[in-house]
């Protein structure tokens, strides 16, 4: 009897883990519709960021100091991918970014933050060895973005 119960519990745990893993694999999200089919590199301030968060917008935010520590200027890479995808990329200077609620979680730059329904999902970490290649390669940056967001609002429509 105990063996059967143990087998049933093991199978249930396996199924639960499989469901969680599958969900995490396909946890991509769409940006707010108006940020597709409209390439802009839009400079904003902390008040605009907070308004977008309170409106539960889904958007991409780039923050940077006046200098970039990477060999290839990362802002050019980011702009290029967004231009190719015809999407809006929001930019905020780091001194202005410090006034946002996001600064509690991301307190260094340069960084790209992915916001879904007003919630920070992930961001690029300039102190991370694994993220450093993303800052320096258009292909790697695009691949990183595609793990989290749909680069075309018509992707995965049912």
Residue found by looking up tokens 């769409």 in the block = 30
Tokens standing for residue 42: 């839009």
Dihedral of alpha carbons 143, 144, 148, 153, sign? negative
Q: What is the mean pLDDT of the chain?
A: 87
Share of the chain above pLDDT 90, in %: 63
Note the pTM of the prediction, 2 decimals.
0.80
Look up residue 30 and give its two tokens.
Answer: 């769409």
- C-beta of residue 148 within 8 angstroms of C-beta of residue 114: yes
Greater pLDDT, 2 or 95: 95
Q: Which of 122, 117, 121 is nearest to 54 (CA)?
A: 117
Nearest by Cα to 141 from 119, 98, 112, 116: 112
Q: What are phi and psi of 143, to 5 degrees?
A: -60, -40
Domains of the chain (ranges; CATH) run 33-148 (3.40.30.10)
Is the pLDDT at 37 greater than 70? The verdict is yes
């Amino acid at each position: 009897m105990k063996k059967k119960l143990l087998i049933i519990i093991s199978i249930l745990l396996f199924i639960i883990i499989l469901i969680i893993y599958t969900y995490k694999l396909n946890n991509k999200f769409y940006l707010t519709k108006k940020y597709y089919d409209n390439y802009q590199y839009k400079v904003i301030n902390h008040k605009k960021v907070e308004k977008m968060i309170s409106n539960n917008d889904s958007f991409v935010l780039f923050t940077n100091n006046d200098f970039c520590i990477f060999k290839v200027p990362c802002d050019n890479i980011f702009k290029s991918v967004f231009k190719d995808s015809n999407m809006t990329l929001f930019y905020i200077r780091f001194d202005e970014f410090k006034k946002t609620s996001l600064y509690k979680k991301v307190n260094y730059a340069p960084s790209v933050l992915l916001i879904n329904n007003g919630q920070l999902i992930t961001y690029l970490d300039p102190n991370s060895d694994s993220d450093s290649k993303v800052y320096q390669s258009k292909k790697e940056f695009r691949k990183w973005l595609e793990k989290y967001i749909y680069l075309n609002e018509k992707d995965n429509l049912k």
